[in-house]
């Protein structure tokens, strides 16, 4: 058995909090785990924080296990699992569809089981919402350029490497996007544009990002380069448009940094307006190359409909949309709320959100740039209140400082949209300690054939903190 240390939530530093995850253990229970290298996969576990008085066992291979078997959602449970569809990229260690060999109903069952393990002690999680056709659902693709045997190629990184696997027809990406990538590769090769070599710092083409508005058919192609100078840019655009006249805009993104980030901060429009439009939940959105926009449009509709259902809006509420991005949730909620205030730290996203509000004629929505946690703390000090807060943070979840500010504001309801169940469980633990209880949980399968799970959680304030501390 592994030894444990019982600690309070207050004892966790910000650094620890960001690397802390809840993982399912012994049926419907959960515990805190902190790992220096990889909290999500529980590798090389450094410390356990047993804040719920539970005990877990560590197997000899370093993975945590419970009475229900391995914690990994994607690991096959028996040898009788048969492939649902073959993909030649899997033999090349593509890694984009780790669950492709698992029948889709079984994928949904496993994901449901994970959610029930994490949240079953708080409520009865509702059935996961799956897709009718779980292929070619992604409206965005990122391709990395490379040189293969002296020829220009592009594709995605093989799992856990920087080796680029050429991909011609990805089963997850929109079919038209696959064709656009092939056409852009042909045009780049025709113009003799070399791939960027990150080790030597030579070459030109780093990445390509293609987006397609599912409802409008508009397409953007963003070419990422290390410098502003783009030789033969007009010839490249002309060749691409000859093969793909439905491309709406072509943008050059300049990223000279030696980081894993795909996009840089500087852009240059080579053709068109620099953005595309798409419709979501009855609203039209302008989407620029660096804007966050959910990649599975049909499931995003179901995700946001679930969030609105959980919110219980009556048309009178004061609503805050933290991490609002370009305003997708804000504008969807505005139809059913009194007033909506979107908070976002990214200035470009705030600009896009304001434009989208005007585009859709939403007069009861405002957007403000700044850290949502600090903004809510100031609101609480000035006596401001909110009836409901939506939050849709990145995969690492909300910061502890943000959650503390949320408790100070004390909205009556919180709708938490999460793309990582383990951090949702971690954050919910602090909110529960602060006087909230989980009322409803519903998973949505936004990313079929992967381990990722999107979850909507409703928390309702049921009491005040007795000690005033966390």
Q: What is the predicted pLDDT for the residue at 167?
A: 83
Q: Is pLDDT of 150 > 80?
A: yes
The tens digit of pLDDT for each residue in 50-102 reads: 333 222 233 333 333 333 332 233 333 333 334 457 787 777 778 788 898 89
Tell whether 449 and 345 lie within a shared domain: yes
Within a domain: 102: no
Q: Do 223 and 362 belong to one domain? A: no
* 319 & 451 share domain: yes
Does 191 qualify as catalytic in the annotation?
no
Is the residue at 51 inside a domain?
yes
Q: Enumerate the β-bridge partners of residue 58.
A: 64
Does residue 85 lie within any of the structural domains? no
Residue that finishes a domain, picked among 248, 280, 312: 280
Of 94, 324, 419, 457, the active-site residue reads 419
Taking residue 337's Cβ as centre, other Cβ atoms within 10 Å add up to 23
Contacts 24+ apart (CB under 8 A), 437-442: 437/122, 437/462, 438/119, 438/122, 438/123, 439/123, 440/123, 440/126, 440/310, 441/115, 441/119, 441/122, 441/123, 441/125, 441/126, 442/125, 442/126, 442/127, 442/128, 442/129, 442/306, 442/310
pLDDT above 80: residue 27: no
pTM: 0.82
Residue 22 domain boundaries: 9-72
- Is there a single domain that holds both residue 254 and residue 335? no
Q: In the prediction, which pLDDT does 198 show?
A: 85
> Which helix (DSSP H) or strand (DSSP E) does residue 356 occupy?
helix 347-359
266 is a domain residue: yes
Residues 321 and 402 in one domain: yes
Q: Are residues 164 and 233 in the same domain?
A: yes
Report the chain's mean pLDDT, rounded to a whole number. 83
Residue 84 lies in a domain: no
The residue-averaged pLDDT of 436-465 equals 93
pLDDT at 21: 57
Residue 100: inside a domain: no
Statement to judge: residues 306 and 437 lie in one domain: yes
Residue at a domain's end among 72, 96, 115: 72
Residue 268 pLDDT greater than 60, yes or no: yes
> What is the spatial distance between Cα 30 and Cα 41, in angstroms, rounded to a whole number?
15
Q: Tell me the percentage of the chain whose pLDDT exceeds 70.
A: 80
| Model pLDDT for residues 279-293, shown as the tens digit of each residue | 999 999 999 999 999
Q: What is the CATH number of the domain that holds 115?
A: 3.40.50.150
Q: Which residue do the tokens 């381990």 mark? A: 451
So what's the pLDDT on residue 84?
A: 55
Looking at the structure, tell me whether residues 306 and 448 fall in a common domain.
yes
In the chain, how many domains are there? 3
**Same domain as 411, residue 309:** yes
Start-to-end CA span in the chain (Å) = 30
Q: Are residues 394 and 342 in the same domain?
A: yes
Q: Are residues 363 and 334 in the same domain?
A: yes
Whether residue 58 lies inside any domain: the answer is yes
Mark whether 428 and 412 lie in a shared domain: yes
Position 79 in a domain: no
Q: Which of 24, 49, 72 is the last residue of a domain?
A: 72
CATH number of residue 273's parent domain: 2.40.50.1070
Q: What is the 3-state secondary structure (H, E, C) of 198-223?
A: CCCCECCECEEEEEECCCCCCEEEEE
pLDDT in tens, 179-217: 999 999 999 999 999 999 888 888 999 999 999 999 999
What Å distances lie between residue 103 and 108, 138, 350, CA to CA? 9, 19, 41
């Amino acid at each position: 058995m592994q030894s444990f240390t019982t600690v309070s939530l207050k004892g966790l530093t910000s650094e620890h909090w960001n690397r802390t995850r809840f993982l399912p253990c012994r049926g419907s229970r959960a515990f805190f785990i902190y790992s220096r290298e990889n909290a999500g996969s529980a590798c090389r576990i450094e410390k356990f924080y047993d804040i719920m008085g539970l005990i877990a066992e560590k197997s000899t291979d370093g993975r945590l296990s419970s009475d229900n078997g391995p914690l990994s959602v994607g690991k096959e449970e028996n040898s009788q699992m048969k492939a649902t569809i073959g993909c030649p990229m899997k033999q090349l260690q593509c890694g984009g569809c780790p669950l492709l060999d698992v029948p889709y109903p079984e994928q949904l069952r496993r994901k449901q089981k994970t959610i029930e393990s994490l949240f079953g002690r708080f409520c009865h999680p509702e059935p996961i919402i799956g897709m009718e056709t779980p292929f070619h659902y992604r409206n965005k693709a990122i391709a990395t350029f490379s040189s293969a045997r002296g020829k220009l190629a592009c594709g995605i990184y093989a799992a856990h490497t920087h080796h680029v696997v050429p991909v011609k027809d990805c089963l997850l990406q929109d079919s038209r996007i696959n064709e656009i990538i092939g056409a852009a590769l042909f045009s780049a090769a025709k113009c003799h544009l070399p791939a960027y070599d990150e080790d030597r710092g030579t070459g030109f083409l780093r990445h390509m990002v293609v987006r397609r508005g599912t409802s409008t058919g508009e397409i953007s192609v963003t070419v990422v380069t290390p410098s502003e100078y783009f030789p033969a840019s007009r010839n490249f655009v002309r060749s691409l448009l000859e093969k793909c006249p439905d491309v709406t805009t072509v943008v050059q993104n300049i990223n000279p940094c030696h980081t894993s980030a795909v996009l840089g901060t500087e852009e240059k429009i080579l053709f068109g307006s620099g953005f595309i439009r798409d419709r979501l939940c009855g609203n039209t959105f302008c989407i620029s190359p660096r804007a966050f926009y959910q990649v599975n449009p049909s499931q995003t509709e179901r995700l946001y409909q679930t969030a609105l259902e959980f919110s219980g809006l009556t048309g009178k509420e004061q609503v805050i949309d933290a991490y609002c991005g370009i305003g997708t949730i804000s504008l969807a909620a505005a139809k059913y709320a009194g007033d909506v205030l979107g908070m976002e730290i990214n200035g470009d996203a705030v600009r896009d959100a304001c434009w989208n509000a005007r585009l859709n004629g939403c007069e009861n929505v405002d957007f403000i740039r700044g850290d949502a946690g600090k903004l809510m703390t100031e609101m609480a000090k000035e006596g401001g209140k909110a009836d409901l807060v939506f939050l849709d943070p990145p995969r690492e979840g909300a910061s502890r400082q943000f959650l503390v500010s949320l408790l100070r504001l004390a909205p009556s309801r919180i709708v938490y949209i999460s793309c990582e169940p383990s951090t949702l469980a971690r954050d919910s633990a602090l909110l529960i300690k602060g006087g909230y209880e989980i009322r409803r949980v519903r998973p949505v399968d936004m990313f079929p054939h992967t381990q990722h799970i999107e979850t909507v959680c409703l928390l309702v304030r049921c009491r005040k903190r007795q000690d005033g501390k966390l």
